[in-house]
Amino acid sequence: MAALYPAYPKQTLIALRTLVWKETHRYLRIWVQTLVPPAITMTLYFIIFGSLIGSRVGVMDGYSFMEFIAPGIIMMSVITNSYTNVVSSFFGAKFQRHVEELLVSPTPNYVILAGYVAGGVGRGLFTGLIVTIIASFFADLEIHNIPVTISVVFLTAVLFSLGGFINGVFAKKFDDIAIVPTFILTPLTYLGGVFYSISMLPDFWQGLSMANPILYMVNAFRYGILGSSDIPIMTAYTLVIGFIIAGTALSLHLLKRGTGLRS
């Protein structure tokens, strides 16, 4: 299969390593913009919703409100940062035209995709770790199921990095990279059971919530940490892996066609 360049595995690996390092170095270099803001925002969430309001909410699904919202808030930061990292980095590369460095080189499309996704996953997980450390100051978190916790957070970061990549491919101006996070991602995350259990909602709204894919990721992650979930875990895995396969296929197709990249 010519597209996979099997004759050059060493060179392909070097190209991947270069791109991953470049993307990692990018978000670490501008850490004040990439790592500090989520830490501050999530700390405020814990103080306001967890401590101040949460103390009056009482117990939810058998856990204190602080314990209940901690997994959702961690997941929210992973989703937002994975997505934002890739969309801003890839669009920036298009805008400054240094994406041409990659397009002119023999770097295969799947390496380009993997490199950008790795950058998004790295930032998403790094931010998730920071928020987890902050959460540990507010709630006593004991991980119920480590494999589920790690796999769900990793797959979610991959999925939203792919989403950011697709958004970056289509984006033509800076407004285009803000529309999806602002008008789609944030509302879906807030309505994805971060701050409440959908069992509290009337039947109609419960049914509607089930159409929100982020609900599955938040609940699967909450299951990993607390052992409690509104949805079956396997459904969440199936959904996330299905979306990842579809997102990867679409991304590679767009790269092959040169959508937004080649005239």
CB 139 within 8 A of CB 226: no
Q: What are the beta bridge partners of residue 60?
A: 63
Instruction: Say which amino acid occupies 112.
Output: I
Phi, psi of 233 (to 5 degrees): -65, -40
For the bound state, the minimum distance from the C-beta of residue 3 to another protein, rounded and expressed in Å, comes to 9
Integer Cα distance of 201 and 206 in angstroms: 6
The answer to the question of residue 102 lying near another protein (CB under 8 A) is yes
The answer to the question of residue 255 lying near another protein (CB under 8 A) is no
For the bound state, the minimum distance from the C-beta of residue 15 to another protein, rounded and expressed in Å, comes to 5
The answer to the question of residue 170 lying near another protein (CB under 8 A) is no
The answer to the question of residue 101 lying near another protein (CB under 8 A) is yes
Q: What is 66-91 written as a DSSP string?
A: HHHHHHHHHHHHHHHHHHHHHHHHHH
Integer Cα distance of 239 and 6 in angstroms: 31
Binder among 35, 39, 57, 103 for another protein (CB under 8 A):
103
The answer to the question of residue 93 lying near another protein (CB under 8 A) is yes
Name the region of 101 (left: φ>0; alpha: ψ -120 to 50; beta: rest): alpha
The owner of tokens 């990279």 is 177
Pick 108 or 120: Cβ nearer another protein: 108
Would you report the helix, strand and coil content of the chain in percent, each value rounded to 5? 80, 0, 20
Integer Cα distance of 25 and 54 in angstroms: 38
For the bound state, the minimum distance from the C-beta of residue 243 to another protein, rounded and expressed in Å, comes to 29
CB 261 within 8 A of CB 103: yes
CB 51 within 8 A of CB 138: yes
Per-residue mark of binding to another protein, 52-91 (x: CB under 8 A): ----------------------------------------
Window of 19-27, 38-46, 48-56, 168-176 that interacts with another protein by CB under 8 A: 19-27
Pick 108 or 164: Cβ nearer another protein: 108
The answer to the question of residue 33 lying near another protein (CB under 8 A) is no
Window of 4-12, 77-85, 198-206, 236-244 that interacts with another protein by CB under 8 A: 4-12
The answer to the question of residue 8 lying near another protein (CB under 8 A) is yes
For the bound state, the minimum distance from the C-beta of residue 263 to another protein, rounded and expressed in Å, comes to 5
The answer to the question of residue 1 lying near another protein (CB under 8 A) is no
* Residues contributing to the site for another protein (CB under 8 A): 2, 5, 7-8, 10-12, 14-15, 17-19, 22, 26, 29, 93, 96-98, 100-108, 258, 262-263
